[in-house]
Amino acid sequence: MPKPTRNTRISWTTSVLAALAALLAVLAAPPGAAQAAPPGRHAGESRPVYSYDRAVRESVWVEAPTRAGGTDRVAVDVVRPREAAEKGVRVPVIMDASPYYSCCGRGNESQKKTYDAQGKPVQFPLFYDNYFVPRGYAVVLVDLAGTNRSDGCVDVGGRSDVQSAKAVVDWLNGRARAYGSRTGNTPVTADWTTGAVGMIGKSYDGTVANGVAATGVDGLKTIVPIGAISSWYDYYFAKGAALFGSGPDGLASRVESAEARARCQDVQRKLVEGAPRNGDRTPLWSERDYVRDAGNVRASVLAVHGMQDLNVRTKHLGQWWDALAANGVERKIWLSQTGHVDPFDFRRDAWVRTLHRWFDHYLMGYDNGVEREPMADVERAPDQWTTDRVWPPAGTRATTLRPAAGSAEGPGVLGLEPARPGSTAEFTDDPALGENDWAAAIDRSTPAKAGFVTRPLARDLRLSGSSTVRLRVTPSTASAHLSAVLVDLGPATIRDYADDAEGITTLTDRTCWGAGTPGDTGCFLRTEARTARVDHTVFSRGWADLGHWGSGKRTRAVTPGTPYTITLDLAATDHVVPAGHRLALIVAGTDRGLIEPASTTPRLTLDLAATSANLPLVGGYAAFARATKGGARPPVKPAHPYGLGTPRQTRLP
């Protein structure tokens, strides 16, 4: 549910200090030295005044602490402006720490790091180096421990991952040691940087940025997590229901180097033992929960997420965002209609401009006003965006809606009044069906679901934030998985998030972003929205294993014929149900393609009087009452309702 929003503007003291720091940097520079940016109190932006083809390209190995008390050497590839170094001008750092630089690649074209015959870096994946190095930034790409050219072992979001990236921030600020080779003893210092670091990355990379920010490390000024995890338990489980067929050991095997695979068998074993497939919360998951440490975050946050991301679901964004808000962290958010897609591939021009201004402000001290602009950009329809001053918007209230029985042949009713005591609905888990099957059959009584709908809305109704659904269910067997989904019933054109590309089409021509070399051109294939015409849109989902009906931390026995109460957390979203459409809540069993089925296929009886949905409605109770008063004429429904194909969970990256 929405949390109170703190003031996220920079205080006047912060602005003054930034300006003073910038002025001191100017005074400390050698006579005649050209600065990468003017003092932060001046308006403007960083300009491409440095050559890219002459940039310094180097590799260093930073010492990172291990769990056993020793150190590993973490490989770090750096590209930075040569002219700045020659004139003694220090530059800030944009950093992407990733496990994917050799196994899987980054970006829409799966780019990997490449090196010349002497081992010096040639290609840096993505556009950050091409665009930002000429503007006075260094770009630093870190191989997480156990991957590519780094020592150590992959521990999938644990201490090794986070510390191997944090150590690089420490080195950039003079607090850690680095060497010119993996085994040599020649020290290397980062005397070329201001120490101001911004971490960025999609998926696993953005997850590491979240984890490092949660340590409160000094020098990390901002993070840009894109489709990032905030709690690794919630990546693999939804209140005990398994979301994938394997655990973190499978991901570690995929990304670790051949050398690490041979030496890290003990770490692999601990990943298996610490992450039981019954969905219990263990100390392994506690270590990988960054939300609980959100109070340590000192960096600003520019968060980006696809609202139809079925890989890293928006539950991660919602709980992280709420925790950041509760701790007064400066923040901004982009929410797209895509799945697990980088904003460079769904809103390229605006994204590069926004990122440029964001880094200029937080890393170079420009007073460009980016922190005073609307907090949220939300994609309402393909390539159609709106903004909000704060997010969730002012006036958003958690509002309790209740299901009630309808006609025998049709769906139940979703409204403000509770059901009569003793009224029930029944459904039988059918693992062959999923959310789009249920939604397509919403107006028919079918055995695999219990559906509840409003009348056609007289006004638009906006939901913004995270929802919960409280169920009182009686199972016929000793195990059960549950799903709850929110559906917009009405025709729309949306991004085709169920397609393999999750809402984009990759074209054949390229656009260039910054400078380039033969080995790193800075030119990337263009994309455009891939759309679908649908009759319904599932816009928020939540799942649970009924065995986690208690605290949710441990599996508990389920006795057939006994009623249990359990709350499902639905993923954060921002969706407008237009006037004339209907809002539906569907409760069912296994959501095909999105959760693993239970060991049995039970029949479940839903106690309607004890079941409710807590939804973040803009305008709250009054908005719902106005939208459902009188109602509107329903849209003409096609003879055969149509939706997207079966959603599928992909795996990181």
Which positions are annotated as active-site residues? Answer: 203, 309, 340
Q: How far apart are CA 129 and CA 227, in angstroms?
A: 21
What values do phi and psi take at 447, rounded to 5? -70, -15
Task: Name residue 452's amino acid.
Answer: F
Buried b (16+ CB within 10 A) or exposed e, 260-290: beeebeebbebbeebbeeebbbeebbebbbb
Rounded (10°) CA dihedral 232, 237, 239, 242: -170
Angle at the Cα of 171 from the Cα atoms of 168 and 177, rounded to 5 degrees: 110
Q: Which of 473, 402, 485 is nearest to 442 (CA)?
A: 485
**Other Cβ atoms closer than 10 A to 545:** 25
Q: How many CB atoms lie under 10 A from the CB of residue 138?
A: 27
Q: Which residue has the tokens 């997590």?
A: 225
- Contact yes or no for 220/171 (Cβ under 8 A): no
Q: Are 138 and 93 in contact (CB under 8 A)?
A: yes
Q: How many CB atoms lie within 10 A of CB 182?
A: 15
Q: Which H or E element spans position 317?
A: helix 315-326
Residue with tokens 């409280």: 470
Per the omega criterion (within 30 degrees of 0), is the bond before 653 cis?
Answer: yes
Strands of 365-448, DSSP E: 376-381, 384-388, 396-404, 412-415, 424-428
Nearest-angstrom CA–CA distance, 150 and 132: 25
Helix, strand or coil for residue 460? coil
The residue type found at 16 is: V
Element (H, E) at 164: helix 159-172
Q: With residue 24 as reference, give the H or E element that holds it.
A: helix 12-28
Cβ atoms of 364 and 93 within 8 Å: the answer is no
Measured distance CA(296)–CA(338) in Å, rounded = 31
Give SS3 for 566. Answer: strand
- From 157, 171, 115, 160, select the one nearest 263 (Cα to Cα): 160
For tokens 């891939």, the residue is 530
Q: Which residue has the tokens 């028919």?
A: 444
> How far is residue 221 CA from its own chain's centroid?
19
- Residue 633 is inside which H or E element, if any? none
Q: What does the chain come to in residues?
A: 653
Q: Residue 135's closest CA among 222, 254, 50, 38?
A: 50
